[in-house]
């Protein structure tokens, strides 16, 4: 039974590799067609060809195991994104003002410390007098 499952996994891996390869080929082919047919077709038709190749590429990639797991991740991320509680406008403004005040206080403290150290170095070296 284990031999049978490993054979199935090998076939599945080859199938996934082939699907992903075809997906990449469809995407590259669409990009190639977009630029190759520049003199023959207008931009709208070339863009439609590119979008069709993108759709085909995504469809092929979704058929692979990697594509299905990636899509599951995207769906899970969207669910988690809906759970976020965003701050109100007032909370955002208050937080921004508090950050500005803290930055200003720290700037003044560092300026004062720098001035004190400069004065001490000048007093010890005799420069600046």
Residue pair 73/65 in contact by the 8 Å Cβ criterion: no
Are 75 and 19 in the same domain?
yes
**Same domain? 121 vs 59:** no
What total number of domains does the chain contain?
2
State the residue range of the domain holding 115: 87-129
DSSP symbols for the chain: -HHHHHHHHHHHHHHHHHHHHHHHHHHHHHHHHHHHTTTTS-HHHHHHHHHHHHHHHHHHHHHSHHHHHHHHHHHHHHHHHHT--PPPHHHHHHHHHHHHHHHHHHHHHHHHHHHHHHHHHHHHH-TT-
CA–centroid distance for 70 within its chain: 14
User: In angstroms, rounded to a whole number, what is the distance separating the alpha carbons of residues 9 and 21?
Assistant: 18
Residues 121 and 75 in one domain: no
Residues 6 or more apart in contact with residue 16 via CB below 8 angstroms = 64, 65, 66
Please tell me whether residues 59 and 97 are part of one structural domain: no
* Together in a domain, 18 and 73: yes
Whether residues 60 and 105 fall in one domain: no
Q: 3 falls in which pLDDT band (50, 70, 90)?
A: low
pTM above 0.95, yes or no: no
In terms of domains, do 11 and 69 share one? yes
Examine the domain organization and report whether 91 and 73 are in the same domain.
no
Joined together, the tokens standing for residue 27 give: 């995407």
pLDDT for 16-63, tens place per residue?
899 999 999 999 999 999 999 998 999 999 999 999 999 999 999 999
Do 17 and 74 belong to one domain? yes
**pLDDT surpasses 60 at 12:** yes
Does 13 score more than 80 pLDDT? yes
Q: 66 and 94: one domain?
A: no
d(CA 53, CA 48): 9
């Amino acid at each position: 039974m284990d031999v049978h499952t490993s054979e199935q996994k090998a076939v599945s891996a080859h199938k996934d590799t082939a699907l992903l390869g075809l997906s990449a080929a469809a995407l590259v082919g669409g990009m190639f067609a977009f630029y190759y047919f520049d003199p023959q077709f207008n931009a709208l038709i070339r863009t439609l060809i590119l979008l069709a190749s993108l759709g085909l590429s995504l469809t092929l990639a979704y058929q692979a195991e990697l594509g299905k797991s990636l899509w599951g991740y995207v769906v899970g991320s969207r669910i988690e994104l809906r759970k976020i509680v965003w701050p109100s406008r007032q909370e955002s403004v208050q937080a921004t003002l508090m950050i500005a005040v803290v930055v200003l206080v720290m700037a003044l403290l560092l300026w004062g410390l720098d001035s004190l150290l400069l004065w001490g170095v000048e007093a010890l070296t005799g420069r600046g007098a």
